[in-house]
């Protein structure tokens, strides 16, 4: 099991750095997931213009643990990051890259990890809408 990159960042996320972190000649499959700020939300009265993410001080430690749990007893390699601060529409909020020997394993670890990040990572977001309305969204990305 290998977590090569797990970070909470105030800086824009670099997909190529995540891909490079999991590069390994033993791995035949690589899955890249990116989550971007979108311009709409089913609960929004008007268009979404930005999200403001904030995190608990232990968020990075939790991210490492979530990566390790998603990897489990597989030989997968993971790189994952979540951005905090104000993000505009189109900005990357989360990047998860998983390398594994086979595609099924890579897909499984990737899906498990992104769901864990969404539901268990102590990051909160405030949604800012075009009409000035703001709403806090629950735990996760």
Core vs surface per residue 97-111: b (16+ CB within 10 A) or e:
bbbbeeeebbebbbe
Q: Which run of H or E residues covers position 125?
A: strand 123-129
Q: Which of 79, 89, 8, 9 is nearest to 47 (CA)?
A: 89
Average pLDDT over residues 129-139: 84
User: How many C-beta atoms lie closer than 10 Å to residue 43's C-beta?
Assistant: 10
* 32-70: pLDDT as tens digits: 999 999 999 888 888 999 999 999 999 999 999 999 999
Domain segments of the chain as ranges:
2-139
pLDDT at 44 (0 to 100): 83
Q: Please state which of the four CATH numbers 3.40.190.10, 3.40.50.300, 3.90.1170.40, 3.30.200.20 is assigned to the domain occupying 2-139.
A: 3.90.1170.40
Task: With CA atoms as reference, report the closest residue to 118 among 96, 140, 92, 93.
Answer: 140
> Which tens digit of pLDDT belongs to each residue from 68-107?
999 999 999 999 999 999 999 999 999 999 999 999 999 9
Please state the pTM of the whole predicted model.
0.93
What length does the chain have?
Answer: 141
Q: Is 32 left (phi over 0), alpha (psi -120 to 50) or beta?
A: beta
């Amino acid at each position: 099991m290998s977590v090569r990159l797990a970070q909470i960042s105030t800086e824009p996320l670099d997909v190529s750095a995540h891909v490079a972190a999991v590069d390994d000649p033993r791995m035949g499959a690589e899955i890249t997931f990116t989550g971007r700020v979108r311009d709409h939300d089913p609960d929004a009265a008007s268009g979404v213009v930005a999200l403001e993410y904030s995190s608990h001080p232990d968020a990075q430690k939790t991210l490492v643990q979530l990566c390790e749990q998603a990897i489990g007893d597989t030989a997968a390699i993971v790189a994952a990051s979540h951005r905090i601060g104000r993000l505009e529409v189109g900005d990357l909020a989360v990047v998860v890259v998983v390398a594994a020997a086979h595609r099924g394993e890579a897909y499984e670890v990737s899906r498990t990890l992104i769901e864990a990040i969404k539901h268990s990572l102590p990051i909160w977001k405030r949604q800012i809408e075009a009409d000035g309305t703001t709403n806090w969204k629950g735990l996760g990305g």
